[in-house]
Amino acid sequence: MNNNKVKKLIRQLLIEIGENPDREGLKKTPERVLRSLQFLTQGYNEKPRSIINNAVFKAEANNMIIVRDIEIYSLCEHHLLPFFGRCHIGYIPTKKVLGVSKICRLVNVFSRRLQIQERLTSQLAQEIMGAINAEGVGVVIECRHLCKMMRGVEKQNSIMTTSSVLGSFLEQPATRAEFLTLLNRNI
């Protein structure tokens, strides 16, 4: 990101919306917005496989492993407004398991990009499936979207739920049912 160019663009945006970028409360806003955007889009600078490959461990486990209630914060690619919520990831390994903290870091890599929830859900499932050749993977994400809460339809209490199931989670209804039951969700 060209820092000076971004700060100039933010300054110009302030002018375009009718503000004075030289008033006390806005003098440092271009710099603050730059730092915020750098943080909120840092997922573009990270490679998912480099995070995962450092934490793939051989194991004889063939049971379902679930990490639930992983916080998600992302920016809607349509309006650049936040969406936030929880992510639940389950998988059945074949001969390799993932480090638990790396699963959470993987969520951050994909959510710290401009996103839509549907793609984010699919990306996480596909990345985990491919990284360890899992028997199956399930991902469920539940989020609130500020683009529909503060503008547009203004529905403050609505929650969007998306799921992506691959392998045995897709092909075997009992496996999918076990995953959803362990999440304590009736989806």
Counting beta carbons within 10 angstroms of the beta carbon of residue 39, is it exposed (0 to 12), middle (13 to 18) or buried (19 or more)? exposed
Are 35 and 104 in the same domain? no
Are 81 and 149 a contacting pair, CB within 8 Å? no
pLDDT confidence of residue 53: 79
Let me know if residue 187 belongs to a domain: no
Cα–Cα distance measured from residue 80 to residue 99, given in angstroms and rounded to the nearest whole number: 32
**Which amino acid, one-letter code, is at 82?**
P
The residues with which 56 forms a beta bridge, in sequence order, are 98
Tell me whether strands 65-76 and 114-115 are parallel, antiparallel or unpaired: parallel
Q: Which residue has tokens 């160019």?
A: 5
Scored b (16 or more CB within 10 A) or e, 163-172 reads: bbbbbbbeee
Q: 162 and 73 in one domain?
A: yes
Do 182 and 64 contact (CB within 8 A), yes or no?
Answer: yes
The rounded distance, in Å, linking the Cα atoms of 31 and 13 is 13
Q: Is 31 in a helix, a strand, or coil?
A: helix
**8-state DSSP, 103:** H
Residues 76 and 27 in one domain: no
CATH of the domain at 164: 3.30.1130.10
Per-residue pLDDT of the chain (187 residues; tens, 9 = 90+): 899 999 999 999 999 999 999 999 999 999 999 999 999 999 999 999 888 877 888 888 789 999 999 999 999 999 999 999 999 999 999 989 999 999 999 999 999 999 999 999 999 999 999 999 999 999 999 999 999 999 989 988 999 999 999 999 999 999 999 999 999 855 4
What pTM was estimated for this model as a whole?
0.92
Instruction: Clarify whether residues 18 and 54 are in a common domain.
Output: no
Q: Give catalytic residue positions.
A: 76-79, 117, 145, 147
Q: Do residues 32 and 61 both lie within one domain?
A: no
Co-location of 91 and 24 in the same domain: no
CA separation for the pair 31, 42 (Å, rounded): 16
3-state secondary structure of 28: coil
Look at residue 185 in the predicted model and tell me its pLDDT. Answer: 57
pLDDT in the model for residue 186: 52
What range defines the domain where residue 71 resides?
48-182
